[in-house]
Each structure stands twice: as C-alpha cells, then as structure tokens.
C-alpha cells in the first residue's frame, strides 16, 4: 500500500479527534478524543518507521502509549474529583475561573 | 497488489474512520467508548500490516484493554453517560466544522502534496519489528527513557491516588462508631 494511504487515515482520524474536543461537552468523551489523536500520531510513527526501515519509530510509539496511560489515569482521577464537587462532568459548567 | 488485498485495506480504512465518526456523533458515552475500542483494534491490524507485531499487541492490551476498561469503569461509576442536548454558543458547531475542513486541507497539502512521500511501504522481513529486536534496542540505546517512563507511571499512580482520596474528616465522621 502507498504511504499516503496511512497518511490519509491518520489525517482524518486526527481531525475527528480535534472535532471531538471542540464539539463534545462530556469531559469523558473529550478525553477519548485525545486518545484518538494519540492513536493517529502513533499510526504515523509506525508507518514512517516502516517507510524508512528504522525501528526508532516503534519504540517512540511504545513510550507514547506509556505516557498516554499515565495521562488517562490522572485525567480520570481529576474528573472523579471534579464530579464530587460539581455533581456534573459537563465541560461548560467548569467555569469557576471565569471573571 | 492483488485485488483482495486492496479490498482488505479499503475495508480497514472504512472501519477505522467510521468508528471514529461514530465516537464523535454518538450521544451516549458508553457507545463512544465501545466505538473507540473497535477503532483501536482496527489500528492494531494496520500495525500488523506495517510489520509491527509488538506494537500491535501492546495496542490491544494497553489501549483496548486497560485504558478503555478504565474509561468504562469511570462512566459506570459516575453514571453520566448522557448529557442534556443543546448548543451553548451559537454557531459553534458550524465554526468548528469549518475549521476542521481547513485543517484537513492544510494537512493534505503539507504531507501529501508538498513532501511528495507517496512511495509504497516496503514488504519487510519478519524480524524487523519483532519483540526481540525492540527489546534489545529499548534496553541498550533507550535505557534512560525507559527509566524515565517508569518514573512517570509511578508518579501518575501516586497522583491518581492522592486526587481521589476521600476527604479525611468526612471519612472519619462517617466511619466513627456511634457512642
């Protein structure tokens, strides 16, 4: 398959992730959209690792996965803490800092 | 490439993008999570096709297994899978979709038109991305990043425990025996 096939899938998935962050109000779905964007970047890493025949891209994907796991753990803990106070995870209601 | 291979790749692309769109458009957060699991599995198949079996199975176990279970658990714990409908800012959706279209055009121009990397992906030997090669590289050349990632995971674990720790005074009041 040409490399542009993987590039195209990655571009469309990243844009859907950006749209998810912009459009959805459920904070959990926003975190899921972040995961989608991580995934499209990982796909690009692996495709270019294959294209240039260098293994470093795959190792970078492994590190990205580990950091994404840490990020999801912290993000979900923050959401649970916010839910305890506000009784909602609507992103529009987290506006306590608004002047 | 034989026809059957092309059909396979087109099918994978349709499933990957369709599940991503399903995640974007579905109102129920649990369905969103399940669509995302299917999307991760499809991307894992693409990793296998690109000669990265180790990354493919890490994707299945870490992403589709651990992370999405955590998501589903939190959705079920909080019980907030549906939010009320409504658009808080007027014209917000149209603006976002317009900006996304501009973004897609920009990425296509940059990656595909300007860089001209449209050569085929090579067929590679079976030991290119094998767990053995990755392990050797990871524990020789990339030993320091592995240690740093281990430290990041440890601090994330401690941070998550600290953030969700129950309020101590309330906890004592609730668990104190009545006298």
CB B89 within 8 A of CB A22: no
Q: Minimal Cα–Cα distance from B167 to chain A, Å?
A: 11
pLDDT of residue A89: 82
pLDDT value, residue B173: 65
CATH number, domain containing residue B147: 1.20.120.1200
The CATH classification number of A3-91 equals 1.10.287.3510
- Decide: B114 and B106 in contact? Cβ < 8 Å: no
Domain annotation covers residue B145: yes
Q: What band does A92 get if pLDDT is binned at 50, 70 and 90?
A: confident
How high is the pLDDT of residue B125? 63
Q: pLDDT band for A67, please (50, 70, 90 cuts).
A: very high
Give residue B172's pLDDT band: very low, low, confident or very high (50, 70, 90).
low
So what's the ipTM on this one? 0.91
A15 contacts chain B (CB < 8 A): yes
Range of the domain at B15: 3-82+125-175
| B105 is a domain residue | no
* pTM confidence score: 0.87
pLDDT in tens, B67-111: 999 999 999 888 876 776 666 667 778 888 898 899 888 888 887
DSSP state of A2: B
Within-domain flag for B66: yes
- Residue B95, domain member (yes or no): no
When computed from its CA atoms, the radius of gyration of chain B, rounded to whole angstroms, is 23
d(CA B86, CA A93): 13
Per the CB < 8 A criterion, the answer to whether A16 and A77 are in contact is no
Distance between A56 CA and the closest CA of chain B, angstroms: 8
Give the highest mean pLDDT range of A52-56, B57-61, B114-118, B172-176.
B57-61
Is B17 in Cβ contact with A12 (below 8 Å)? yes
- CA closest to B29 among chain A residues: A29
| d(C-alpha A54, C-alpha B163), whole Å | 40
Is B32 within 8 Å of A59 when comparing Cβ atoms?
A: no
Torsion (CA) B110, B113, B116, B120 in degrees, nearest 10: 100
Question: What is the structure's pLDDT at B116?
Answer: 65
When the pLDDT of each residue in chain A is averaged and rounded to a whole number, the result is 88
Range A57-76 average pLDDT:
92
Chain B residues with CB-CB distance to A78 below 8 A:
163
């Amino acid at each position: 398959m040409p490399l542009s096939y993987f590039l195209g899938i990655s571009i469309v998935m990243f844009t859907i992730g950006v749209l998810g962050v912009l459009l959805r109000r459920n904070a959990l779905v926003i975190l899921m959209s972040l995961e989608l964007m991580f995934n499209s970047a990982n796909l690009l890493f692996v495709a270019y690792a294959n294209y240039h025949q260098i293994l470093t891209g795959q190792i970078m994907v492994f590190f990205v996965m580990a950091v994404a796991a840490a990020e999801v753990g912290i993000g979900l803990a923050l959401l649970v803490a916010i839910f305890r106070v506000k009784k909602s995870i609507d992103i529009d209601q987290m506006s306590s800092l608004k002047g | 490439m034989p026809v059957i291979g092309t059909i396979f790749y087109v099918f994978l692309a349709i499933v990957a993008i369709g599940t991503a769109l399903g995640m974007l458009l579905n109102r129920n957060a649990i369905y969103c999570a399940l669509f995302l699991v299917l999307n991760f599995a499809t991307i894992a198949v693409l990793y296998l096709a690109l000669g990265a079996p180790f990354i493919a199975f890490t994707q299945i176990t870490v992403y589709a297994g651990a992370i999405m279970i955590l998501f589903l658990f939190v959705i079920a714990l909080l019980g907030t899978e549906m939010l009320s409908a409504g658009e808080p800012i007027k014209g917000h959706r149209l603006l976002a979709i317009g900006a996304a279209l501009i973004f897609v055009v920009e990425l296509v121009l940059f990656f595909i038109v300007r860089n001209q990397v449209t050569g085929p992906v090579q067929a590679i030997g079976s030991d290119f991305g094998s767990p053995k090669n990755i392990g050797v590289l990871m524990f020789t050349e990339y030993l320091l990043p592995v240690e740093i990632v281990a430290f990041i995971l440890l601090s994330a674990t401690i941070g998550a425990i600290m953030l969700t720790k129950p309020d101590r005074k309330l906890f004592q009041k609730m668990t104190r025996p009545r006298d």
